[in-house]
Structure 1
Amino acid sequence: MSPRISTIEHSLHRTRVEKVVLNDTTLRDGEQAPGVAFTGAEKADIARALAKAGVTELEAGTPAMGPEEVAAIRSIVEAQLPLRAIAWCRMRREDVDAAIASGVSMVNLSVPASDRQIAVKLHGDRARAKELTAQVVDYARSRGLDVAVGGEDSSRADPEFLVELMAVARAAGARRFRVADTLSVLDPFSTHDLVSSLRRETDMEIEIHCHDDLGLATANTLAAVKAGATHASVTVIGLGERAGNAPLEEVAVAAAQLYGIETGVVLTELQPVAALVAAAAGRPIPVNKSIVGDHAFTHESGIHVDGLIKDRRTYESLDPGLLGRAHSIVIGKHSGSAAVAAMLDVLRLPFSSGEIARIVARVRSHALDRKEPVSNEVLKDIWRDVRRQSEIRVS
């Protein structure tokens, strides 16, 4: 084991985190996924579903997009849900004014943090980024808004500059700094290192915002939380730019399951809210999607099914009952005699020891030919045919 990994693992075990606030940005970053567009009514429905699921912070949209977006955000605010609606803004006074028109009490003011993005987007240098941050944060605070500053492309920024930018934001009245892995360049180890170093320098709230281009968004988010992040940006089913964001359902369940970290999320509501967002986004949930996919607790392998039948703990680390779900067994190529026999018992179809072997062989052949699970109706047909053959042999 390398010294670096050993040091990080020691730090992970040493850090005691009891709670993290999940800031759901499905209605902002999630809607930025290619081809996704929510109507005002859909946004309101999703906000209500998230509130029911125990989410307490919601990035409701980008007011600078125009009157329709302002109206959609305002409808969420006026619904008086048990969550805080936050508006995403560029580091511009006019964006703050649009946020005020939407009725929110908090804004996330985004500013480029990496040298490349500062040069391209601000046509300036680090001093310009700090100057702009101080001015606009002060303006938002003077208008009565709580402020989070989002460091766009934080993961490619000079860490020392991030510390300086955070200090400027805090001095101007910001309560939170968002560390954004905008281009998904972090891994869990570098995430932990970065957030730990920032945590040592400030008492501000720190929010982690991860993208999933490398499939590490959930892992990186958890690493940040273990390093001291107080808030985590997530989206339902990981919806978002490019490969998406850290999924709400994965972060909420993993935080509780692995670390006992409280998020306030009602786990039994995760599947309904996922179905609602998927329908509104026109993005079907993959059947093998963790936590909320149809096959997340479905088993075919004979070895696994045999173990589950005898003692479900042999092949269960996450109790599906916590999510309002249950294990299910499908019959297919990899099914063994125990699984097929159990299904025949459920269907109340009698069989002999000799018949079960023939039924299993027929099941596997059918599954291989059709490349799909064997339905109960097909299993009944196979059973009838095997029983008929048995009767012929006896006669």
Structure 2
Amino acid sequence: MLALSHYNSTSPLLPFSNNDSEGTLEARVAVAEVQQQGNLTFDLPPTSGAVVVILSMTLGIISNIVALFILVNAYSLQRRRSKASFLLFASSLVVTDFVGHVIPGALVLRLYLHGGVRPEAFNTSDGMCQFLGGSMVFFGLCPLFMGCAMAAERCLGVTKPLLHSSLVTKTRTKTCLFVIWLAALCVALLPCFQLGSYTYQDPGTWCFIKVLRDTEEVDVAFVVLFSGLGLTSLAVALVCNTISGLTLVVARLRRQPGSHHSAKSHDIEMVVQLVGIMVTSCICWSPLLIFGLMLAIRSYTGSIGDDLSSYKSLMVMGVRLATWNQILDPWVYILLRRTVLRKIYLIAKCQAGLRGNKLGRWEPTSFHSSEKKEVNQV
């Protein structure tokens, strides 16, 4: 998580010496008066910001490692092709989140420890800013693309299982992952070809696409591309997950009370996890995607006016939420597993007194009994 809080601090008054000449004394008095009025202030990241970055990085690393262990263990025990493809996608997503949490977090921590970048340098961009900005774009688009691909794969598996079994293979899944990483990398590298630019953002501890100052046509086009791809991925995932969920609900309601289709328990678990990923991505990424697009257009048209400080706050809030996505994603796999869902179902059933009514169709025995050993090991 990028801890982007800041505070205003003034330089101490310059001491006066008896040896000062008249001109030097007048200059020192003038500087002291200006400083007392608070006109020479600098936005510096507080020391506590580095502590917050370290704590959030630790939480993110632990969460992703635990989720990766669960997914890899489940993948090694899985024999169903559809489930194996989903676990391969999910494991790749967790690995991407892990790397995307460590690399930008380490760069932000380095900026904090060096006091950040001065406001007058916000419009500049060095090699570190280029790398940090590109990392944020790359590791931002990858989870959104993967969530969209996973939702589309599950929608095909639920609605057209025969077509899914013939189209989706391990090799094609790996190819799809490679294409996703390559596409995100191509977008992140566009500023290297003068198609957009990265600059330091307030309070000088992170870099992103130029959206607030001196925005040009290529910057607006870059933001439109980045935000458009992200929002489109979220929209496609929403549609696919809705279709998958409705299909499973209709199939469950049409099923005879005495019959059991254990294979559906896999689909239920995967769709529930996909919904969790989608909700997390929407909450964490939508503000930054929308705010960035809105501010770039306003900056280009010159309509920001006196609301610059408010827009800075919006960008800081947006990037804070976006960085939480890499912390929350692993908990979707940790918490939304069948063993956890069964316990939640049993508790809810006991509390609500649902024994004997039609909702009894959702008996926990529908989760395949032969997989209890696998669940306990995971």
TM-score scaled by length of structure 1: 0.25
More helix by share: 2
* Richer in strand (by share): 1
- Give the TM-score taking structure 2 as reference length: 0.25
